[in-house]
Amino acid sequence: MRYPVLAVVNSSKYLFAFDLDGTLVHNLPSGERTVPPRLLDCVRRLGRHAHVMVATGRRYRTALPIISLLPAASYSVTNNGMVVKDASGKTIHRESLDRADALSIAKLFHKTHLDVIFATDGYHENIDFIFWKQALKEADAPRKLFERFHEVSAVVETMEDVLSFRRDIPLLEVATLGPYHELLEARELIEPQLPKPYRAVVVKGIGEDSWGALEIFSGKVSKWTGILSVKKLLNVEMVVAVGDDENDIEMLQSADISVVMSHAQPHVKRVASRDVEGPEGLAQYLEEWIERLEQE
| Amino acid making up residue 248 | D
Taking alpha carbons only, the member of 215, 247, 238 closest to residue 296 is: 238
- What interhelical angle do 37-46 and 278-295 show, nearest 10? 20
Residues 200 and 281 in one domain: no
Number of domains in the chain: 2
Distances (CA, A) of 123 to 21, 45, 71: 20, 30, 22
Domain span at 250: 14-94+222-295
Last residue of a domain, one of 159, 193, 218: 218
Residue 176 forms part of a structural domain: yes
Residues 209 and 127 in one domain: yes
Spatial neighbors of 284 by CB under 8 A, at least 6 apart, are 276
Residue 83 forms part of a structural domain: yes
The predicted structure's pLDDT at residue 296 = 81
pTM above 0.85, yes or no: yes
- Phi-psi group of 273: left, alpha or beta (phi > 0 → left; psi -120 to 50 → alpha; rest → beta): alpha
Residue 63 forms part of a structural domain: yes
Within 10 Å of residue 45's Cβ, how many Cβ atoms?
Answer: 16
Residue 9 forms part of a structural domain: no
Residue 3 forms part of a structural domain: no
- Per-residue pLDDT tens, the chain, 296 aa: give them: 333 333 334 558 999 999 999 999 999 999 899 999 999 999 999 999 999 999 999 999 999 999 999 976 679 999 999 999 998 889 999 999 999 999 999 999 999 999 999 999 999 999 999 999 998 998 888 999 999 999 999 999 999 999 999 999 999 999 999 999 999 999 999 999 998 889 999 998 676 677 899 999 999 999 999 999 999 999 999 999 999 999 999 999 999 999 999 999 999 999 999 999 999 999 999 999 999 999 88
Tell me the CATH number at 156: 3.30.1240.10
Last residue of a domain, one of 170, 202, 218: 218
Residues 81 and 228 in one domain: yes
CA–CA–CA angle 136, 33, 148 (5° rounding): 15
Tell me the CATH number at 236: 3.40.50.1000
